[in-house]
């Protein structure tokens, strides 16, 4: 018995990946309803062998729907998710709207799968940078209890949506042509540059993106006292985010122990060879369903520390794939 599925924000970067992955993973869809703003109504998107017309996202658009994926931004989620729940759908929301709400589970299936079954109609999909980090933290935390995490991210422009990707591509062409580089999405040039600024600045000096990593990590891992500090950086890469992570644990872990734990953990692929190219990079990890880990070594600045490098496709594991894996969890309990 299949599911009637809706995607709110179907024409966006994550929405189109949701459509593709629902097909690739053979999720049991009996009906797919594609929803977007009025300007996209009538546009047709392919699912399996069918071309499906986009309908307008309204509060009445969820009648008969079992699962509603939302990837239309936080304001749209706040406006329309309650209507979807009222219609009887389970909402899996990719925005930041409900992530820190006490009654809304924040779920990464490799880390806290049981939380998905404690929903009251809405399940939140974490931030892309948080997802790939907690997948890698989980086996280390289970084995040695992580006290402190310091992370620097290297975030691709697709994290800003299609407009971010278009800006990088345009600026590279403008640079090659010797014409002035136009800025619309980012405050400074992104081509051949790095920008230590993702999302808005907060009073404590961190950005909203950085504090998402702090608060979401604690919630997902049920570790309210875990110390987390993040620096989020936008880099001129089209797809897949990278992170340099240092953790301090209560119990000593050797690099070999950490490597084995990561190799045996669900959803992780380890590429860790001490030679040029013996580590994962965004280029090769794009459109991979796994979270890739490399550069695993003991952190020589603390007594019990491990340093490592994590790369994942933030449109897949960081967004659409994680959402579908949550739906698959719910489906497994339904059978």
81 is catalytic: no
Say which of 119, 128, 141, 232 is annotated catalytic.
Answer: 128
Question: Could you tell me how far CA 208 lies from the centroid of its own chain?
Answer: 15
- Sign of the Cα torsion 240, 57, 113, 142 reads positive
3-state SS record for the chain = CCEEEEEECCCCHHHHHHHHHHHHCCCCEEEEEEEECHHHCCCEEEECCEEEECEECCCCCCCCCCEEEECCCHHHHHHHHHHHHHCCCEEEECCCCCCCCCCCCECCCCCCHHHHHHCCCEEECCCHHHHHHHHHHHHHHHHHCEEEEEEEEEECHHHHCHHHHHHHHHHHHHHHHCCCCCCCCCCCCCCCCCECCCCCECCCCCEHHHHHHHHHHHHHCCCCCCEEEEEEEECCCCCCEEEEEEEEECCCCCHHHHHHHHHCCCCEEECCCCCCCCCCCHHHHCCCCCEEEEEEEECCCCCCEEEEEEEECCCHHHHHHHHHHHHHHHHHHHC
Phi–psi pair at 226, nearest 5 degrees: -65, 130
The span from the CA of 219 to the CA of 230, in Å, is: 16
Say which of 81, 119, 232, 241 is annotated catalytic.
Answer: 241
Between CA 132 and CA 139, with CA 138 as vertex, the angle to 5 degrees is 120
141 is catalytic: no
Positions marked catalytic: 128, 241
């Amino acid at each position: 018995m299949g599911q009637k599925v809706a995607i709110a924000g179907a024409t966006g970067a994550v929405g189109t990946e949701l459509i593709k992955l629902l097909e690739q993973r053979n999720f049991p869809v009996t009906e797919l309803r594609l929803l977007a703003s009025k300007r996209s109504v009538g546009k047709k998107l392919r699912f399996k062998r069918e071309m499906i017309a986009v309908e307008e996202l309204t509060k009445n658009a969820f009648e008969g729907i079992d699962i509603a994926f939302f990837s239309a931004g936080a304001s749209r989620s706040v406006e329309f998710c309650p209507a979807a729940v009222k219609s009887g759908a389970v909402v899996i929301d990719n925005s930041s709207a409900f992530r820190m709400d006490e009654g809304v589970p924040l779920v990464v299936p490799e880390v806290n799968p049981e939380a998905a079954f404690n929903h009251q109609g809405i399940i939140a999909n974490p931030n892309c940078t948080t997802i790939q980090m907690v997948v890698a933290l989980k086996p280390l935390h289970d084995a040695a209890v992580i006290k402190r995490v310091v992370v620097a991210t290297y975030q691709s422009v697709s994290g800003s949506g299609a407009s971010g990707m278009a800006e990088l591509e345009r600026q590279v062409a403008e640079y090659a042509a010797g014409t002035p580089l136009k800025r619309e999405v980012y405050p400074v040039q992104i081509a051949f540059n790095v920008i230590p600024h993702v999302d808005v600045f907060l009073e404590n000096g961190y950005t909203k993106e950085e504090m998402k990593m702090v608060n979401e990590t604690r919630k997902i891992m049920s570790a309210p006292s875990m110390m987390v500090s993040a620096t989020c950086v936008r880099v001129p890469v089209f797809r897949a985010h990278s992170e340099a992570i240092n953790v301090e644990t209560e119990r000593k872990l050797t690099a070999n122990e950490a490597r084995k734990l990561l190799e045996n953990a669900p959803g992780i692929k380890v590429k860790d060879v001490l030679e040029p190219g013996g580590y994962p990079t965004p280029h090769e990890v794009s459109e991979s369903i796994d979270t890739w880990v490399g550069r695993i070594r003991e952190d020589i600045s603390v007594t019990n520390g491990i340093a490592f490098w994590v790369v994942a496709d933030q449109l897949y594991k960081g967004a659409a794939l994680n959402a579908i894996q949550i739906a698959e969890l719910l489906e497994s309990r339904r059978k």
